[in-house]
Chain A
């Protein structure tokens, strides 16, 4: 019957529908990742290599690299700063000032993670860019830039923790996830290898479109500092002498050299580049200036990491760098900001200061570059190495260059240092480092390197055979299931 035939046909039709859709399944289920590039497509072109190297530089200005974690680990232990801000705000920071910090404090983990995140980005470039078919010169420069940053990160890690996990390649598989700590001597050696490689390739200068990238001078200067921490005075001399032949000069006005308009000036050896980018809000990530900015004033900041009275007292009478380094409560800055007469803290960091009327989209002062290595420090390293190797004349000449610039034409202050006594000259150079590099996150580890930590930091709790390094973050030890060990006496 007709009716029955229709039903029969429909039944067959169902089977057809089921069959067809089954046949389609392959293409229907193949969906590429949406809005994110799979990595197999990355590291294929020169443009990919460029982007990856960009990420390394960009990441350097991020919170864990420039804000609270470095403040805790690299600054607060010193005698030049204290926590600042409101008394009750972020009191855990005090534990870095009085050396009661335990392995579980979050800033340790942040510092650790921040450095390793940067190292991971560098390792991506170092492992993957060699295989890209691209301009050979650019390729080797990119690799050198990545090595410079990686060396900078390991330098910060080895200073802070001693033995650390040394990762010079991406983990091949899960068996390389959980690595033990490498003795610090090997870490120092790896840093030196990276810096030697980098200095061999990096250019002395870049065209204007590339200002801010690591240069040969930056690699040599950092290498000198790395050598200085190991007391390899001959190497310090060698590297700093090279840098001194590259045409760097001290910027005439010390105070002005820290302003936004004078970023990447003739004195700048390496700066972490930052910029307020209204069109790319989330790229305006630097909080370096904000956390140290004048508290309680519009356009200022949070008021952490403030200079101590001890620092203010460390400057020689009339040293213009005192006023250029410290914002005193009640003063009016050279840029015209009146600092209120009363408030939470008596002093603030002037080197990270950004005038209150500079616009920002995310964080006050997000425009401010971080001065990592200035030529003044190169001169002081050269001076110290010269003195240690018996060349007091050279040391005095270097020292005088730094003091002369600070003097800024006023011969009534900062008399020329003339002593040729090795110990006295060393003390003078160390003092010069203290005031020249004040508030630049150098002092804490510098004093430990000098072997004077117990004398200088002891009164506020620093203990030998313990506080030379910070504890390894407890979470990291937990996650390693015991593969990582804790530093002694923590």
Chain B
């Protein structure tokens, strides 16, 4: 039989021939199962080596294939080692696949498809779902901390906020610097809505060539998430844990008598007559913080029937925040079905449903507790709130307990996301896939501010109800055509695709005064006043962006030795105009598997030796739309008043650059992969260099331009991240009862600015209340982005005599002595120098697991080094805020008491200015996760009608080591303001006990 197909079209300009001449064919049948569990594996590719013949196992793991009786079957599946089996005339061959201990044969998820690890020429890291879901994190990304070389996860911020993720350093400055998340083909900026229990695999594309197929959204890396699919016989699994979160490494604050002592020193008089008599007073952090309960239940039903696979899961999470009164409830559902409709058509869908509700806390309440005066009681004896105005401490800050008690805000979020797809096998080697996905989300916030009088200055005279609704309506439609064929020793895969995306958001909020408050039934705007004195108000906002893309990729390999990959993507975005609308993103990669060479056949050192190199271009569109379009500002503050009547005002308050270009990334990656000792020892090293060209960000501009916000956004700088990543793995068995693995990773990153639009002039930023309005970072060519910049402290003035003979005549004893770096006999802005670098240089992780009989233990360590933090909380003082115990113990309070810490007047004089005193090491090391599990012997479990029962205890962040004097050295922040700690977010550990049951 000989057939010729010719398919041509606008985008498909390839013509191909296929020849399949088979003589003595046999029909081989069999089942493919997991070698360890015996579970049937669905969708396993069973092919005849050296031909295009191939099939997939059905839902029972069964396959049927026609092949020459002397042919070789190749059986491959994601996460398993590919096996070659010579048929030798057999008609029944059952295959037991080993899960991929040798990762090289394993299959990894890449953009728009999968590849054998062997064929990958870029840098792609995979993390299995079980490694994510077994941690106590409710956010999947947070669980990746320390797992992957070159991936920095910063878990800072208030409870419930998403972690910050940086892949190979900072990829962008302005807008969203987080990577693109692709969940079952649907694109997201954030995946905090996903239940980690529903995740099968996470693949992180780290180098530009792998990312390039995602074009204009790829500049910060791409994280591909595959959700779970049903397989094997129907099973029910139940996973649950319960435990608590506890604030850890909390800095001690000054107590009442220490505080009073400091205030007396600050004021230079006895504001408090007898500090010692005040005792310990109120520990406001303990008033506001608590040990918080958390629990999670997940139930999954999955399996497969003759023609379909399915997986349905439901999850419930209840998490109390570590701040009293903060509660979060989340219900998630994941639905997946997959039907082989005909032998050439497969249909399916994935859907994630999420509903969450939270009781919110006022922003900054922890900071309020951090600064509140310990001399003020929570309540007076008569039950009324302790009032700072009754003490000589000022009313900043106020009573944090009252602030918490009168805060009444509830938020609900609903979301449906997912996709439907159809996969059409046109001929054996040509597959068309169309996938339509999207996101349908709604957020609701209801906030009621009642009439109350808590203290002299904490009160509200008119009640106020604020209601807001935000909705997201996104869709993505992608069509791909994949050609996959082996010609002798040549293997060629060609992908061509097209994508259209639309992202729309809309929000509306309204408020009314004097809404009654007798029950929840009153919380309607319509019950509020509606007159000239108290009119209702409404406002709204929205955004809309569209993308149109075309892409293609060619993967070619010869004899599993020589690899060549190339891709190209063209992206158009509504965010840019004119000639800058379309961006083009090529990539190329090559690899050489030296260990597969003939001349390596007789060596016994390397099980694998591969070198690879790649280059690619990527873009970034995660910037606000219409950057170059001057917009009109019609803010409420522009409402004029004539004769006591409001009149709407608007004006232009910004300057925009004439043209904004794509932010372009160019990256190269060179990698080395090795395996030794029967694949027990694996080693992978990468060198990378990634340039972000024409980075878009806002730089402060001259105040005399009179812009609102004082910045101008545009293509401002080019910077580079380069570094090395190393991953070393060891796994082994000792006897039949004990197995263990140790995986370590280490990465070094260097960030450097290559040029800026300001030329030799630095870009200053990092100003704000935290630094007394001073710009505390500098970005200059040849240096890392956003370095800390300030005066250099050279001790503390001890006496007036010392001051008199110094060049700081206005100083007082206990003030910082600064270095006169330019030797002009005065201390001014010209004496500033680089005082720290907020870009982490080293990241490392060590992940271990041990299995002995029924017991399993895993211990993960993780850390960051070579990073500085600006501890702005120390100098951020408006008046009588509390101090830390560390400050009390070390402060200057008389000649000879300290030459490093200043007097209590740290927030006054010239002491608050950015200086080396505030810069501290942000390095830390922690035991990220510790888990001990016990699995019931299966004989015993089956008596309990279970397939498997495992119980475990887990501790996350239980041990942390750092020198930083603040709460948590993980700061993060936008590029030119990174590492400035001006919030107080405590670090917390989570302890829980859990159970995994499969029926």
Contacts and interface: CB of A to CB of B under 8 A. Distances in A.
A52 B394 contact: no
Interface stretch (A217-225, A273-281, A385-393, A428-436): A273-281
Contacts of B572: 25, 29
Contact of B267 (A88, A110, A281, A473): A88
A25 B641 contact: no
A15 B430 CA distance: 14
A29 B263 contact: no
Contacts of A344: 392, 394
A39 B652 contact: yes
Among A54, A105, A359, A480, the most chain B Cβ lie within 10 Å of the Cβ of A54
Contacts of A85: 394, 879
A171 B457 CA distance: 45
A91 B430 CA distance: 75
Contact of B767 (A8, A297, A475): A475
Interface string B855-899: 000000000000000000000011110000000000000000000
Contacts of A42: 632, 650, 652
Interface string B748-785: 00000000001001101001000011110000000000
Contacts of A59: 637-638
A279 B245 CA distance: 42
A52 B907 CA distance: 40
B343 to A, nearest CB: 10
Interface in A265-321: 273-275, 277-283, 285, 295-298
A124 B635 CA distance: 16
Given A22-B550, A37-B631, A119-B706, A280 B636 contact: yes
Contacts of B655: 171, 177
Most buried by B among A210, A344, A475: A475
B706 A31 contact: no
A35 interface: yes
Contacts of B574: 29-31
Contacts of A31: 544-546, 574, 625
B626 interface: yes
A420 interface: no
Contact of B638 (A14, A58, A89, A213): A58
Interface stretch (A96-104, A236-244, A247-255): A96-104
Contacts of B23: none
Interface string B460-473: 01100000000000
Contact of B649 (A12, A52, A295, A476): A52
Contacts of A39: 629-632, 652
A251 B810 CA distance: 46
A120 B424 contact: no
A280 B879 contact: no
Contacts of A295: 395
Contacts of B879: 85-91
A295 B392 CA distance: 12
Contact residues of B: prevailing secondary structure: loop
Which interface residue of B533, B706, B908 has the most chain A CB atoms within 10 A? B706
Contacts of A28: 500, 546, 548
A58 B626 contact: no
A56 B640 CA distance: 8
A14 B703 contact: no
B629 A33 contact: yes
A361 interface: yes
A38 B11 contact: no
A474 B434 CA distance: 59
Interface in B608-652: 625-626, 629-652
Contacts of B544: 31, 34
A282 B649 CA distance: 13
Interface stretch (B78-86, B173-181, B277-285, B534-542): B534-542
Contacts of A209: 642-643, 645
A41 B758 CA distance: 31
A116 B9 contact: no
Contacts of A36: 631-633
A412 interface: no
Interface string A5-18: 00110111011011
B828 A102 contact: yes
Nearest to B645: A209
Interface in B500-549: 500, 511, 513, 532-537, 540-548
Interface in A338-382: 344, 359-361
Contact of B880 (A17, A89, A476): A89
A120 B705 contact: yes
Contacts of A90: 878-879
Contacts of B344: 7
Contacts of A480: 702
A62 B535 CA distance: 22
Contacts of A167: 704-706
B850 interface: no
B462 A51 contact: no
A contact face: mostly helix, strand, loop, or mixed? helix
Nearest to A164: B704
B456 A296 contact: yes
Contacts of A185: none
B990 interface: no
A104 B829 contact: yes
B581 interface: yes
A120 to B, nearest CB: 3
Contact of B533 (A21, A34, A278, A281): A278
Nearest to A87: B267
Contact of A51 (B634, B829, B878): B634
A178 B344 CA distance: 67
Contacts of B461: 359-360
A210 B641 CA distance: 9
B782 to A, nearest CB: 16
Given A14-B432, A89-B879, A117 B708 contact: yes
B569 interface: no
A171 B632 CA distance: 17
Contacts of B493: none
Contacts of B912: 92
A264 B829 CA distance: 46
Contacts of B498: 17-18, 21-22
A58 B703 contact: no
A106 interface: yes
Contacts of A278: 462, 513, 533-535
Contact of A274 (B432, B630, B641, B645): B641
Interface in A371-416: none
A34 B543 contact: yes
Given A31-B574, A296-B395, A481-B758, A121 B651 contact: yes
A194 B306 CA distance: 87
Given A102-B910, A281-B537, 4 more contacts: A25-B572, A54-B647, A54-B649, A211-B643
25 contacts: A10-B424, A15-B9, A15-B12, A22-B498, A22-B548, A29-B548, A31-B546, A34-B543, A41-B632, A55-B649, A57-B641, A57-B642, A58-B638, A87-B392, A88-B266, A88-B879, A117-B706, A121-B653, A164-B704, A178-B702, A209-B643, A210-B643, A277-B641, A477-B829, A479-B700
Interface of B: 5, 7, 9-12, 263, 266-267, 271, 344, 389, 392-396, 424, 426-427, 430, 432, 434, 453, 456-457, 459, 461-462, 479, 481, 498, 500, 511, 513, 532-537, 540-548, 550, 572-574, 581, 625-626, 629-653, 655, 658, 700-708, 710, 758, 761-762, 764, 767, 772-775, 810, 828-829, 877-880, 905, 907-908, 910, 912-913
Interface of A: 7-8, 10-12, 14-15, 17-19, 21-22, 24-25, 28-31, 33-42, 48, 50-59, 62, 85-92, 94, 100, 102-106, 109-110, 112-113, 116-121, 123-125, 164-165, 167, 171, 173, 177-179, 208-213, 264, 273-275, 277-283, 285, 295-298, 344, 359-361, 473-481
Please list the 5 inter-chain residue pairs (A to B) with the smallest Cβ-Cβ separation, ordered nearest first.
A120-B706, A106-B773, A15-B9, A89-B879, A279-B535
